[in-house]
Structure 1
Amino acid sequence: MHWLWAIIVGLVLGLIARVILPGKQHQPLWLTVIFGIIGGVLGNAVATWIGVNDTKGIDWIRHLLQLAGAVVLVGLGDMAYMAVRGNRRTV
């Protein structure tokens, strides 16, 4: 069940990250979801490291760290995707 939630949260975080980032992202949706999942995990790790992973009420700081991780990874992932894929045109 945790994997299902990770995929759902990764999808949401990845889509929000795509909206936040300026310009057009060229990576496919499945790659955005993967980067969103990894960003969420990274944000949870940072929240645990600084001691704000479990607070009373809504964990806003943890959620913002997850989103920040997703934005960074989606941005870097898009640059890496374009570097690997190049500017090849399909006919």
Structure 2
Amino acid sequence: MDVLWLIIVTVIGGAIIGTLGKMVAPGDRDKIPFWLTVVCGIVGMLVGSYLYWWLFGHNNGSFDGHEATPTNATNGIDWLRHLWQVAAAAVTVMVAAVATGRSR
């Protein structure tokens, strides 16, 4: 059951992060299909989380009885990590639009 929830959260999170990434990407990026937006969002979630972790989160001490991890580096909501995810998704959307020839 844990794997099912992981898949559900990943797809929903990918749709949200991908849509936000599409909105902040410069230019006309609305021509890529929704499934590609979700894939870009999932890639943005992964890349953004690990990039944030590598730059800022790896040296956080333990809190709430556990060590900091790439998916949970602070107490509460990791707003900065989510901003990094949206930025990574925006870059991924731009790359996907150029790679599929749908950037104009």
Alpha-carbon displacement from aligned partner over 1:3-49 (angstroms, at most 9, x marks no partner)? 11111011001111121123322211101110110110101111221
Aligned to 1:34: 39
> How many pairs were matched up?
84
TM-score, normalization: structure 2?
0.72
Structure 1: 4+ residue segments shifted above 6 A: none
Q: Any gaps of 5 or more consecutive residues in structure 2? A: 58-69
Aligned to 1:23: 27
More helix by percentage: 1
Aligned to 2:95: 76
Name which structure has the greater RCO, CA cutoff 8 Å, separation 6+. 2
Aligned to 1:55: 74
Superposed CA RMSD: 1.8
The alignment status of 1:9 with 2:10, answered yes or no, reads: no
TM-score, normalization: structure 1?
0.81
Instruction: Among all aligned residue pairs of Structure 1 and Structure 2, give the percentage whose two residues are the same amino acid.
Output: 36
Structure 1 22/48 Cα, relative in aligned 2: closer, same or farther at 3 Å? Answer: closer
